[in-house]
Amino acid sequence: MWKEFKAFVTSGSAIDLAVGIIIGAAFGKIVSSLVNDIIMPPIGLLLGRVDFSNLFINLSAQSYATLAEAKRAGAATLNYGLFLNTVIEFLIVGFAIFLVVRQINALRRPAPAAAPTTRECPHCAMTIAVKARRCPYCTSELKAA
């Protein structure tokens, strides 16, 4: 069992998976920063200086000025601003992954098949050039290809 585990851990696919997870986690942090620090502030400014990370619905009887204040008090809240940020992060990550997979699929596509340069003589079944008008083996006249 130890040998099988060692073979699995040192195989290329397990190492590729580990590298993918590490890069994915780092990419997630970059996207979170992109959304929270670059995309949402201008959108909030355009919508009247709204800070999306501070949008919430208070479900308790008391009122709170900020989400942080409500959390410190232990109040029940619906944090739809944070949810909106997370949805935008997901869309950006999904689009980026789509572009990567699309590029990989384009690289994997086989090259288009080249036009055939030979054909079979219908009379003697020998292989001849596509442009041949007469078979060099049986001397039959052929229709142009």
Q: Do both 27 and 95 map to the same domain? A: yes
Tell me the one-letter amino acid at 1: M
What is the average per-residue pLDDT within 115-123? 90
Q: Do both 123 and 93 map to the same domain? A: no
Q: Do both 28 and 75 map to the same domain? A: yes
Q: Do both 67 and 121 map to the same domain? A: no
| Domain hosting residue 96, numbered range | 12-109
* pLDDT exceeds 90 at position 91: no
User: Under a CB-based contact definition with an 8 Å cutoff, are residues 54 and 63 in contact?
Assistant: no
Measure the CA–CA gap between 87 and 27, rounded to whole angstroms.
16
Mean pLDDT (the chain) is 85
What would the two tokens of residue 8 be?
A: 């699995």
For residue 49, name the pLDDT band (cuts at 50, 70, 90): confident
